[in-house]
Amino acid sequence: MKQTAILLTTLFLILISCTSPAEESLFDRLSLEEITIDQLTEGYENGDFTIQQVVEAYLQRIESIDRNGPGLNAVLTINENAIEQAAELDSELLEGNRRGKLHGIPILLKDNIDTYDMPTTAGSRFLEGSVPPEDAFIVKELRKEGAIILGKANLSEWANFHSSFSSSGWSGLGGQVNNPYELSRNPCGSSSGSAAAASANLAAITIGTETNGSIVCPSNANGIVGFKPTVGLWSRTGIIPISYTTDSAGPMTRTVRDAAILLGVLAVTDESDELSLIAEEHIQTDYTTFLNENGLEGKRIGFFTGPMGNHFRVDSLMYQAVRDFESMGAEIIEIDQIGTQNIGGDAFRVLLYEFKDGLNKYFESLGDNAPIRSVEELAEKTRELAIETEQFDRSLIFQAAEAGDLDSEEFITSLENMLTQSREDGIDRVMDEHNLDAIISPTGSPAWKSDPVMGDNFRLSSSSPSARAGYPIITLPMGNIDGLPVGISIFGRAWSEGRLLEVAYAYEQGTNHRLVPQFLD
């Protein structure tokens, strides 16, 4: 069956390459642009199209737009079994069986999320061809729900924790991801491929991961909805880590409703993840119940002004968003700071220690087939392979290799201070003092030009308060600057996903700022 699937996929891609550019694509014939989970599900039930047709259409679109055509370079690996799996799901539907809310929904995963049938590489040359022994916990849940894993998305290598500076969206294995709005622009990182793919309609939905900004920043730059939930709401088992304390996977979609659907599907307790066990009492099985068009009425919203003043046109969009919030019934309270101390140094030390510990455990999980056994070995091989330090210095890998273990007093002190200052003395304190439902702030600036020589040109960010606390944050479009999207972030207390979705949905429905990319060169 596997050889048959490979042959079918190869023949299909040959047919794609022979199709005249003027001929309407299967993707267009099926009207899949901007299609939602609900619309796909309804189309399957009504017989408007089959799951196999939809999967073929997305594979064709990946080939024509990502691999050729504009050349987004957002997809690293294609699932060679996708068409065969789609046919199986079609058969199940004909028999009256629907696995779950994602039956037949095509999805792309960031390539630091384990899949038993495809390599998982984090974009590193050293993990090229590394196929883990089993799926990540969330991937097992996706398959149970009937989702089709189309493939793996390119990313910033090691989730952008490798060098003192870098170009977001670049990996040694996959190269540079490009922004679908203007191809010379950067997609931001590290979930760059997931964001670009979702925005360019290369899949119905995608999943990224975030430590600090790696979901919300690329969602900002690529004009989509990105949601990092409270750390622990989604299992991290089988995901190549940076930080046990602050890592989480999350939805990257074109609508708030799709993010809410995906959030609920994967909010499942995992006994292998201790923080997931803590999340159990907070889990909602259906987050779409929080979606309310009038959800801003009577809300007290904090406006975090710290990131303002770095780009006057972003400021103008943000002030318009504030007026929109007020017109929809919210009361706005300006907040100039959230934390009372600068904890950047503590947060960085936590990342170094936890990156080493987590990566060593991940390498161990690969068993006898692990191409790398430890972070120390990774550092050694990085020094030996000239191409590895040809473009970026890899200083974070070298620093992590020299870090101690998690019993270190330096680590324990840094972790305690980071959590206290970001939680009790940070977000929780501010929200208590002002009786807030949520906090808003600009997510970032418009996408900058990709620059492999000088690296990223970040102008502003608002992700650190929630990231260091391990608290939830959602971003969605609030407008554009010369055709480049800019997002607004909404964040709050631990386990406040429902409240954040309510606020985000009301704003989305009242403004509708999503802009379909045109792949300008």
* Rounded distance between C-alpha atoms, residue 169 and residue 202, angstroms: 17
Rounded to an integer, what is the distance from CA 442 to the centroid of its chain? Answer: 18
Binned at pLDDT 50, 70 and 90, residue 20 comes out as: very low
CA distance 60 to 54: 10
In this predicted structure, what is the pLDDT of residue 54? 98
CA distances from 115 to 73, 122, 140, 498 (A): 20, 12, 9, 29
Taking residues 82-105, what's their average pLDDT?
A: 98
CA angle 287, 288, 290 (to 5 degrees): 75
Name residue 504's amino acid: A
pLDDT at 221: 98
Amino acid letter for position 151: G
Beta pairing partners, 153 = 75, 110
pLDDT, tens digit, 9 for 90 and up, residues 442-468:
999 999 999 999 999 999 999 999 999
Question: Of the candidates 230, 203, 228, 229, which has an alpha carbon nearest to the alpha carbon of residue 218?
Answer: 228
- pLDDT tens per residue, range 206-220: 999 999 999 999 999
Q: pLDDT tens-digit profile of 252-289?
A: 999 999 999 999 999 999 999 999 999 999 999 999 99
13 pLDDT more than 60? no
Distance from C-alpha of 120 to C-alpha of 132, rounded to nearest angstrom: 7
Domain boundaries, the chain: 2-274, 300-342+411-511, 344-410
Q: What is the pairing mode between strands 148-153 and 106-110?
A: parallel
Tens-digit pLDDT profile for residues 404-420: 999 999 999 999 999 99
Instruction: Identify the bridge partners of residue 250 per DSSP, sorted by sequence position.
Output: 208
Sign of the alpha-carbon torsion through 438, 442, 447, 449: negative
Sign of the dihedral defined by the CA atoms of residues 198, 275, 292, 486, in that order: negative
The answer, yes or no, to whether residue 4 has pLDDT greater than 50, is no
Question: Which tokens sit at 38?
Answer: 């609900």
Mean pLDDT of 327-356: 97
Beta bridge partners of 149: 107
Cβ atoms 422, 465 nearer than 8 A: yes
Which residues are part of the catalytic machinery? 110, 190, 214
Q: Is 160 left (phi over 0), alpha (psi -120 to 50) or beta?
A: left
pLDDT digit string, tens, across residues 354-369: 999 999 999 999 999 9
Contact 283, 233 (CB under 8 A): yes
* Mean pLDDT score of the chain: 95
The encoded tokens of residue 386 equal 């000239």
411 and 349 in contact (C-beta within 8 Å)?
yes
Cα(207)–Cα(138) distance, integer angstroms: 10
CA angle 378, 380, 382 (to 5 degrees): 65
- Phi, psi (rounded to 5 degrees) for 157: -55, 140
> What type of residue sits at position 195?
A
Burial class (CB in 10 A: 0-12, 13-18, 19+), 458: middle
The verdict on pTM exceeding 0.85 is yes
Q: Which pLDDT score is estimated for 521? A: 87
Q: Are 505 and 292 in contact (CB under 8 A)?
A: yes
Tell me the CA end-to-end span of the chain in Å, nearest whole number: 41
In total, the chain counts a number of residues equal to 521
Look at residue 3 in the predicted model and tell me its pLDDT.
42
> What's residue 23's pLDDT?
80
Burial class of 170 by CB neighbour count within 10 A (0 to 12, 13 to 18, 19+): buried
- Percent of the chain past pLDDT 70, that is, above it, reads 96
- Residues paired with 239 in a beta bridge: 113
Residue 5 pLDDT exceeds 80: no
| Coil/strand/helix, residue 335 | strand
Mean pLDDT, residues 333-357? 97
Distance CA 361, CA 353 (A): 13
d(CA 141, CA 154): 22
Confidence (pLDDT) at 1: 40
Report pLDDT for 22: 53
The CATH number of domain 2-274, selected from 3.30.1510.10, 3.90.1300.10, 3.40.109.10, 3.30.910.10: 3.90.1300.10
What is the spatial distance between Cα 223 and Cα 245, in angstroms, rounded to a whole number? Answer: 28
Q: Write the single-letter amino acid at 439.
A: I
